[in-house]
């Protein structure tokens, strides 16, 4: 026996594994191999079969069986389309009709395409050429007429050693120490939730602000630590439960891949990036580890950018689908800080790119990511602290009004009005500060402006009614209170109207 076909079988296996294909399955007799490279658009999967073909019907059954297996692989890999190259290495061609079974690719569910090629001893060059054409790659093999058993065994051993080595490298990639800081962060956020509940409640805004929730006015006042502290605070039991479960299941994976120190950096920077994005694009009070958790997803996406073959062969589509589901859910449900999620996702990707993987360096990418992160972070901070939109200034002014710092609130709001940027809330707050500072005529003027900008602003009608009532103009005051009652059935509006009716 020449062993020529056996040698060709393992030679092709060696070529494909050297080109990046990984072993998916090997039969017990080592005569069938399924190889995978999801980044190869011409053939994501290659099936190699060393079998002497006798009859066309047997070939037909095997081709159709391979097509079914290929479709199952497509579903497992979650691929929309899958191209499979099915290579038979046989000493002879079938003795009866067989061409119709391999001339055209077999299509399964319009999603899986199976190309079959037979390489026999009389048509090696043509068969290799056909394989090269399907793969759009130049494959050249020079074969001797005969090979010793040892030649085949040495080549087989080299292929299997290469496959095992790659498998160990991939396994080591996912095992860079046992998770530790995942559970530290989990313990901190649970402890903080218990503390919030014991000191006023996790749904109490004042309590959340006291313990460090993201609150734009106080950040603008210089409380920079609020870019970090919100990561460990949660609003309500469902919020802490969902984020704790997400961290419990996702955190260990990221920490094992990147190692403990890198994980701490990724988690905290992602959380910071999420809070920063929320600070810039949302005026609402917020808290939660969602940005940091999305940062863990971002770090996994970086694996897809740095090592796409490994990523899509292991976790790729699952990660992408989970991210899409979470983002769609976030944008379809009110009360979720989507800016924080998106900021954390981008932050996690950049944080992972900066540190790369343990015991590996990619200096150009790492330095580039560091510069990009610094520029983006600096730019967003500058924009946030120099944002003169009414929403931002109104929030800062409201905090000053709550602190009874009426003079500073008046100056802040008046500057915005002078620049022509004020909205209805701006003028209402300005009027309130003016009432406290006894600038009553100006207050009336600005309440009128509030109503002009927002005719349904019932608090403005009420405050204006109080000013007219204070002047003794009850007719005008009644008219204004009745207008306020059209938009709100507030008891204090009804009480004021009753008092004026009794007085008159």
Q: What percent of the chain has pLDDT over 70?
A: 99
SS3 (DSSP) at 170:
helix
User: Max alpha carbon distance in the chain (Å)?
Assistant: 121
Active-site choice (22, 116, 290, 431):
290
Dig out the tokens for 429 from the structure.
Answer: 């707050």
430-439 burial code (b ≥16 CB/10 A, e <16): bbbbbbeeeb
What gap in Å lies between CA 174 and CA 233, rounded to an integer? 30
Per-residue pLDDT, 504: 63
What gap in Å lies between CA 146 and CA 151, rounded to an integer? 10
Per-residue pLDDT, 20: 85
Residue 359 carries which DSSP code? T
Active-site choice (115, 234, 341, 458):
341
Per-residue pLDDT, 165: 81
What gap in Å lies between CA 481 and CA 364, rounded to an integer? 67
Per-residue pLDDT, 188: 97
Cβ-contact 406, 437 below 8 angstroms: yes
Per-residue pLDDT, 301: 94
Per-residue pLDDT, 102: 84
Per-residue pLDDT, 145: 85
pTM tops 0.85: no
- List phi, psi (to 5°) of 38: -70, -10
- Among residues 88, 94, 87, the alpha carbon closest in space to that of 53 is found at 94
End-to-end Cα separation, the chain, in angstroms: 121
DSSP character string of 62-73: HHHHHHHHHHHH
Reply yes or no on whether 30 is catalytic.
Answer: no
Tell me: pLDDT of 43 over 60. yes
User: Taken in order 380, 381, 386, 390, is the CA torsion positive or negative?
Assistant: positive
Residue 204: pLDDT band (50, 70, 90) is very high
pLDDT tens for each residue of 468-497: 888 888 888 888 888 888 898 888 888 888
Q: What percent of the chain has pLDDT over 90?
A: 54
Per-residue pLDDT, 157: 92
125-161 burial code (b ≥16 CB/10 A, e <16): eebbebbeebbeeeeeeebeeebeeeebeebbeebbe
Reply yes or no on whether 64 is catalytic.
Answer: no
What gap in Å lies between CA 220 and CA 172, rounded to an integer? 46
Q: Please list the alpha-helical segments (H only) found in 356-423.
A: 363-385, 390-402, 406-418
Residue 234 carries which DSSP code? -
Range with the lowest mean pLDDT among 32-36, 225-229, 335-339?
A: 335-339
Residue 24: pLDDT band (50, 70, 90) is confident
pLDDT tens for each residue of 398-453: 888 888 899 988 898 888 888 888 899 999 999 999 999 999 999 899 999 999 99
Residue 62: pLDDT band (50, 70, 90) is very high
Helices 181-198 and 237-258: crossing angle, nearest 10°? 160
């Amino acid at each position: 026996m020449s062993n020529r076909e056996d040698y060709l079988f393992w030679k092709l296996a060696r070529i494909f594994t050297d080109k990046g294909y990984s072993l998916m399955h090997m039969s017990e007799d080592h005569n069938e191999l399924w190889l995978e490279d999801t980044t190869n658009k011409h053939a994501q999967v290659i099936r190699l079969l060393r079998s002497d073909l006798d009859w066309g019907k047997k070939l037909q059954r095997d081709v159709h069986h391979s097509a079914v297996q290929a479709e199952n692989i497509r579903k497992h890999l979650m691929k929309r389309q899958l191209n499979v190259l099915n290579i038979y290495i046989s000493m002879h061609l079938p003795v009866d009709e067989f061409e119709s079974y391999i001339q055209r690719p077999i299509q399964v569910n319009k999603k899986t395409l199976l190309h079959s090629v037979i390489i026999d001893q009389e048509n090696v060059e043509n068969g290799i050429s056909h394989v090269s054409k399907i793969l759009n790659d130049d494959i050249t093999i020079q074969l001797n007429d005969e090979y010793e058993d040892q030649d085949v065994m040495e080549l087989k051993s080299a292929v299997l050693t290469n496959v095992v080595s790659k498998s160990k490298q991939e396994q080591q990639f996912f095992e860079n120490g046992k998770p530790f800081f995942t559970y530290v962060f989990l313990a901190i956020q649970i402890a903080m939730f218990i503390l919030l509940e014991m000191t006023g409640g996790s749904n109490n805004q004042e309590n959340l602000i006291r313990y460090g929730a993201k609150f734009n006015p106080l950040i603008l006042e210089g409380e920079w630590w609020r870019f970090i502290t919100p990561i460990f605070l949660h609003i309500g039991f469902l919020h802490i439960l969902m984020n704790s479960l997400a961290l419990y299941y996702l955190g260990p994976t990221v920490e094992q891949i990147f190692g403990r120190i890198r994980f701490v950096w990724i988690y905290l920077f992602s959380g910071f990036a999420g809070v920063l994005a929320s600070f810039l694009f949302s005026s609402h009070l917020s808290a939660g580890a969602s940005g940091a958790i999305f940062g863990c997803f971002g770090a996994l996406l970086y694996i897809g950018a740095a090592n796409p073959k490994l990523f899509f062969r292991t976790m790729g589509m699952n990660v992408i689908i989970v991210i899409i589901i979470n983002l769609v859910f976030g944008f379809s449900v009110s009360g979720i800080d989507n800016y924080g999620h998106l900021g954390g996702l981008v932050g996690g990707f950049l944080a992972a790119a900066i540190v790369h993987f343990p015991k590996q360096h990619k200096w150009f990418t790492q330095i580039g990511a560091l510069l990009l992160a610094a520029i983006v972070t600096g730019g967003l901070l500058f924009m946030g602290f120099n944002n003169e939109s009414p929403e931002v200034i109104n929030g800062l002014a409201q905090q000053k009004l709550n602190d009874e710092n009426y003079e500073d609130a008046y100056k802040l709001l008046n500057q915005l009005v002078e620049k022509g940027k004020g909205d209805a809330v701006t003028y209402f707050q300005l009027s309130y500060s003016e009432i406290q500072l006894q600038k009553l005529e100006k207050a009336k003027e600005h309440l009128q402006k509030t109503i002009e900008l927002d005719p349904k602003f019932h608090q403005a009608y009420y405050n204006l009614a109080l000013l007219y009532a204070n002047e003794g103009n009850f007719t005008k005051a009644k008219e204004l209170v009745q207008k306020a009652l059209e938009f709100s059935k507030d008891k204090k509006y009804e009480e004021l109207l009753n008092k004026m009716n009794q007085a008159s």
